[in-house]
């Protein structure tokens, strides 16, 4: 029996590799189609949906806290006015003592 030439051997190996690759790719998509495995895009989309849900809940929580603080503050006076430093007393200045009075 004669051994096949390199061209025939290459063709057989190439067709065999393509067949095995197609079979494995088909198994992969069969698992995805049955819902046992997600694609990369679906994984990213699901993670984004989870992040949106978490951020929405945090936003609601912060909005509740803000409304509570606004209700508490509604009965009080403005803290900026309440804690402002008092104005210094007015000092009457004698124009002659400052040197700005009449010339002698």
* Residue 43 in domain: yes
* Residue 67 in domain: yes
- At 52-84, the pLDDT tens digits run 999 999 999 999 999 888 888 887 655 555 555
* Residue 46 in domain: yes
Q: Identify the pLDDT of residue 23.
A: 94
Any residues with CB less than 8 A from the CB of 37 and at least 6 apart, and which?
28, 31
Domain that holds residue 72: 39-79
Percent of the chain with pLDDT over 70: 73
* Residue 101 in domain: no
Stronger pLDDT, 104 or 57, i.e. the higher one: 57
Q: Identify the pLDDT of residue 74.
A: 81
How far is residue 58's CA from residue 27's CA, in Å, rounded to a whole number? 41
* Residue 84 in domain: no
Mean pLDDT of the chain: 80
* Residue 52 in domain: yes
Stronger pLDDT, 34 or 41, i.e. the higher one: 41
* Residue 50 in domain: yes
Domain count, the chain: 1
> Burial, 40: exposed, middle or buried (Cβ in 10 Å; 0-12, 13-18, 19+)?
exposed
Whether the CB-CB separation of 68 and 62 falls below 8 Å is answered with: no
Q: Identify the pLDDT of residue 64.
A: 92
* Residue 97 in domain: no
């Amino acid at each position: 029996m004669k051994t096949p030439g390199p061209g025939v051997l290459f063709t057989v190996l190439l067709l065999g590799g393509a067949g095995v690759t197609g079979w494995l790719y088909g198994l992969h998509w069969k698992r995805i189609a049955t819902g046992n495995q997600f694609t990369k895009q679906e994984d990213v989309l699901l993670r984004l949906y989870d992040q949106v849900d978490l951020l929405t809940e945090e936003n609601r929580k912060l909005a509740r806290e803000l409304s509570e603080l606004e209700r508490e503050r509604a009965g009080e006076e403005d803290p900026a006015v309440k804690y402002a430093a008092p104005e210094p007393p007015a000092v009457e200045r004698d124009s002659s003592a400052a040197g700005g009075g009449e010339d002698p």
